[in-house]
Chain A
Amino acid sequence: NAGVTQTPKFQVLKTGQSMTLQCAQDMNHNSMYWYRQDPGMGLRLIYYSASEGTTDKGEVPNGYNVSRLNKREFSLRLESAAPSQTSVYFCASSPDRISYEQYFGPGTRLTVT
């Protein structure tokens, strides 16, 4: 099992460009999450999907959109990238939102110039 995979690992964008971060899990988990990690701050939840077909905003959703494509895949889209979105992005999954630990992907390091 690969666990949680993310692509790409690194990305540099110019301000205003768009891109989609991909995440997939092969553990048959119901819940998936997108976080960002910035220096000096804890991980912050951007969006989550409690189950296939549902998505909800987290703590810092502005500037992002998500799609739960199917049970395996949860993508994060930046429509018009801004320098404030320079961060490391982590995808995670868990069997459900309440009872279980989360499994994290390797992260995507995004720089917006």
Chain B
Amino acid sequence: KNEVEQSPQNLTAQEGEFITINCSYSVGISALHWLQQHPGGGIVSLFMLSSGKKKHGRLIATINIQEKHSSLHITASHPRDSAVYICAAKNYGGSQGNLIFGKGTKLSVKP
């Protein structure tokens, strides 16, 4: 079993829909990262959070430490949101500071 699991693997939405991507982890973490990988391949960090909720524009990330679960929400989705979204857990244990990555969720938003 992977230490960081994302669901769904693929997601197709219509423009304007509310989108949720889920991330579950089994390791002790000091922080949880959400990243966006553009179709051209570039990777951008969206959020780093260790508790509660963070918001940036139409993106919202939440984390529940007790349940070892995080969600990334996109409100009023747009075709430019089409990308792969990657969850990564920052390891608290032996290799402190290293990131353990999920396999990513490929989002396609249709106009």
Contact = CB atoms under 8 A, between A and B. Distances in A.
B33 A101 contact: yes
Contacts of A103: 45
Interface residues of A, number: 25
Contact of B41 (A48, A97, A100, A106): A106
A45 interface: yes
A34 interface: no
Given A97-B96, A98-B30, A42 B102 contact: yes
Interface residues of B, number: 24
A90 interface: yes
B97 A104 contact: no
In this complex, the member of B2, B96, B99, B103 whose beta carbon has the largest number of chain A beta carbons within 10 angstroms is B99
Interface of B: 2, 4, 30, 33, 35, 41-45, 48, 86, 88, 90, 95-104
